[in-house]
Structure 1
């Protein structure tokens, strides 16, 4: 027990770094995903083609490679980012691509008759999207978004390659130093708590949106 108490300050410090990366990515990637998802089905061909390429690029390459490129790759091109900034940039660009595809599929799943009905009522495209389409889209895409958010919790461990002391890196340092697996157990408990909270939150949100059928 004394060893666990001794571990907690550094483990909690690593957890704080993990939560910061998680929060910044989520806050920035979600609205970007909505905007990019709508751009994916834009009638403006250059924008649609660019978004198709963007999504293909960031979904088709590993997040680990993107992290390395944002820090080491850009450095070779003369652009040096701080480690944390490189991590934030890679995570936001990667997750916005995945969320863009989720929202794109959600928008396209809405029956075209609803657009036509809104047009008959004299609603603008913006009013149609915000008042009619997007509320239904959010209901439909909640499960896949929940899965992506859970993946985000676990993917934060990848920033170890940039020598950022997030939760898993702190645990690994203690394991190698103290020759015990207890830090891994503590880290696993923290990760399970975070993913459990995400699951409960999305279940609550799904119940709130249950009036859309």
Structure 2
């Protein structure tokens, strides 16, 4: 069969729109996932066992089950309970809930990397928990966590392809539509792979710049 690259060139606007949707999902996921991850990390270290166990149970569930199944439950399953969400909302929600579980462990490892003596000194000075976190722990933990968070963001960009299964028109979905309409599969998916590689390479480069600066 003759390859028809003109199919790809004719659909560049659609593919670029898919890139935009992919990045939109990724950025929203990183924002909401980070907020959730910080909350879960603090809950994991809570002195109240019920709170710590709740966070641990959440992380166990969301890290131990496939993202695709989670997206299906939210998009296709919730309507059975009377809750109907659009594809974009369901996609961002499922990605955020999943990513939050991973970011929680990143943040928690960053907090635990701080010398315990510094936290004990903060308590000895009479600092409250939140003051201790804001002035002592957070500035140092942020430096430790920044690179793993960038890597998580890169993984999130690739994971958005899973959301094509719930009809969200991100990059993979756009490539699939081109393939279905033309009966040519090699060219569209090669183009999709190249665009994903381009996006992830940009953030891999930024991660390298951050690593050199933080070093």
- Normalized against structure 2, the TM-score is what? 0.89
CA distance in 2, matches of 1:135, 1:209: 13
| 1:191 Cα offset (Å) | 0.7
The question of 1:162 aligning with 2:172 is answered no
Moved more, 134-143 or 7-16: 134-143
Counterpart pick for 1:141 among 135, 141, 145? 145
Q: Which residue of 2 aligns with 1:199?
A: 204
Q: Which residue of 1 aligns with 2:110?
A: 106
Counterpart pick for 2:64 among 49, 60, 64? 60
CA distance in 1, matches of 2:85, 2:171: 22
Say if 1:37 and 1:100, in contact at 8 Å, map to a contact too: yes
Q: 1:115 to 1:106 in 2, by over 3 A?
A: same
Q: Give CA-to-partner distance per residue, 1:102-149, whole Å, 9 cap, x none.
A: 111221222211111223344332222122212222222233323221
Report the 3-state secondary structure (helix = DSSP H, G, I; strand = E; otherwise coil) of the residue aligned with 1:191.
Answer: helix
The question of 1:190 aligning with 2:195 is answered yes
CA distance in 1, matches of 2:204, 2:156: 13
> Which ranges of structure 2 fall in alignment gaps of 5 or more residues?
none
| 1:186 Cα offset (Å) | 1.9
| 1:204 Cα offset (Å) | 2.8
Q: Give CA-to-partner distance per residue, 1:51-78, whole Å, 9 cap, x none.
A: 1111111011100000000011111112
Q: Number of residue pairs matched?
A: 210
Alignment of 1:88-103 (within 5 A): 88-103=92-107
| 1:194 Cα offset (Å) | 1.2
How well do the aligned residues superpose, as a CA RMSD in angstroms?
1.8
Report the 3-state secondary structure (helix = DSSP H, G, I; strand = E; otherwise coil) of the residue aligned with 2:46.
Answer: coil
Q: Which residue of 2 aligns with 1:177?
A: 181
Say if 1:55 and 1:97, in contact at 8 Å, map to a contact too: yes
Moved more, 33-42 or 122-131: 122-131
Report the 3-state secondary structure (helix = DSSP H, G, I; strand = E; otherwise coil) of the residue aligned with 1:89.
Answer: helix
Q: Which residue of 2 aligns with 1:35?
A: 39
> Which ranges of structure 1 fall in alignment gaps of 5 or more residues?
none
Counterpart pick for 2:157 among 133, 153, 156? 153
Say if 1:7 and 1:183, in contact at 8 Å, map to a contact too: no
Counterpart pick for 1:118 among 102, 117, 122? 122
CA distance in 2, matches of 1:193, 1:134: 32
CA distance in 2, matches of 1:96, 1:204: 25
CA distance in 2, matches of 1:199, 1:156: 17
Report the 3-state secondary structure (helix = DSSP H, G, I; strand = E; otherwise coil) of the residue aligned with 1:123.
Answer: coil
CA distance in 2, matches of 1:95, 1:104: 14
